[in-house]
Amino acid sequence: MVDRILGALASIPGRLSTWAANLTAPALAVIGVVVMAGVGAGGYYAYRTYDYVQHDNAFCLSCHLMQKPYELFARSAHQGLSCKACHQPTLITRSRMALRQIVENPKELTAHAEVPNERCAHCHIDGDPKKWRLIANSAGHKVHLESKDPSLKGLQCVKCHSVSVHEFAPIDRTCGQSGCHEDKKVLLGRMSNLTIHCAACHNFLAPVNTASGGTAVLGNEVQAAILPDQEECLSCHQMRALVTMPDPDPHKGVCAACHNPHEQKTPAEAVRSCTNAGCHTQAAGLSPMHRGLEPGVLEDCTWCHKAHDFKVDATRCLDCHKDLDRDSITVRAHVWPDTSAAATPTPPGSAQHEPAAWAPFVARRLSLTGMEMLP
């Protein structure tokens, strides 16, 4: 049986040759035109099919699961691109991916096509190197792409940019996704009851400026750029009603130098940062006024320095220093008449400073540093 089939197949070319030899020239011409037309039509429709699958977003959109992602994509900066501009799996990979989606997970769209950094770099780095330099110099990109943290090695662009699938805009889950900052919660006061977008406080796109005031305070230009300062904090209308910053501000408006909403639960806890944030670590050496204090007094900076004002109200000195000779010319020159009538607080200790003989030295030291001694 097999031999008969093979024999019949083998005889086909000979029979066709014999059949064609008996045809007239016009008949052969007609057959040639028909064959060429068929090949042309087949090639055309094959190309149209290939182009539809490879370059027409309607092919992807034909899947009912792609409706929502495509709506996000349509309002993104990539809306003019084809899906295959970023997603370029091989034919075998694409077929396997489609089969798995249909058979195993027909009701939910899951991660299905990798987009490596090289694909992003083709447009965003190689395609526009001038613009990329601006992006690469932003605080958020420097923190993540130039970090020495081994967990960030090989970080993929889509890790952050594709949490809101195909829209590429940051959302509340961008930073708090699994494996990233998922344990970072806002604990400070009533802020803990709010849903606050990370980017509302942390300016991801802030340019890194080594000469900024924040750099001078924090000592790290990247941290100074991405940690919140008064521009971000005072953008909240409730915060503007609570806080007024002095001008000039000795802390350069860097709120994060003192306040950490992810660790502190009350604003008063910010006082602890005065000596451990790399600022006033040796407070006793600032001036003789900071020396000779009992344990615990020097650490309570706000006892004398009012928060967000920082200047010492010299009219209240006698509230603690009751043993001073009020008739002394030195004392009378620095005390306002109504001081004795002010309410008397309960001091945390004797809080006695260096002897009054240091006063000329203090005045000279303050004048050399550009500061003024309050009357």
Per domain, the residue ranges of the chain are 37-114, 306-375
* pLDDT for res 289: 78
* pLDDT for res 187: 92
Neighbours of 183 (CB within 10 A): 7
User: What is the secondary structure of 242-276 as a DSSP string?
Assistant: H----SS-TTTT-GGGT--TTT-SSGGGGGGHHHH
CB distance 269 to 302 below 8 Å: no
The predicted-structure confidence for 353-364, as pLDDT tens digits, reads as follows 444 433 443 343
Higher pLDDT, 338 or 238: 238
Where residue 335 falls among pLDDT bands split at 50, 70, 90?
low
* pLDDT for res 326: 65
Upper half-sphere CA count for residue 268 (Cβ side, 13 Å):
3
* pLDDT for res 244: 83
Q: Where are the alpha helices (DSSP H) in the chain?
A: 2-21, 25-55, 57-61, 67-74, 91-104, 117-124, 129-136, 139-145, 157-161, 172-175, 198-201, 213-218, 221-226, 230-233, 237-242, 273-276, 329-332, 359-368
* pLDDT for res 319: 67
The predicted-structure confidence for 121-165, as pLDDT tens digits, reads as follows 999 999 889 888 888 888 888 888 888 888 888 888 888 887 777
Cα–Cα distances in Å, from 211 out to 79, 174, 205, 218? Answer: 38, 30, 17, 12
Element (H, E) at 294: none
CB distance 339 to 317 below 8 Å: yes
DSSP 106: T
Where residue 194 falls among pLDDT bands split at 50, 70, 90?
confident
What is the CA angle 121-117-77, rounded to 5?
Answer: 60
Q: Give the span between the Cα atoms of 94 and 97, in whole angstroms.
A: 5
- Residues, the chain, total? 375
- Sign of the torsion formed by the C-alpha atoms of 189, 194, 195 and 199: negative
Q: Where are the alpha helices (DSSP H) in 77-153?
A: 91-104, 117-124, 129-136, 139-145
The predicted-structure confidence for 44-86, as pLDDT tens digits, reads as follows 999 888 888 877 888 888 888 888 888 888 888 888 888 888 8
Q: Which two three-digit tokens encode residue 337?
A: 């008449």
Residue partners of 315: CB distance under 8 A and separation at least 6? 335, 336, 338, 339, 342
Q: Give the span between the Cα atoms of 308 and 245, in whole angstroms.
A: 6
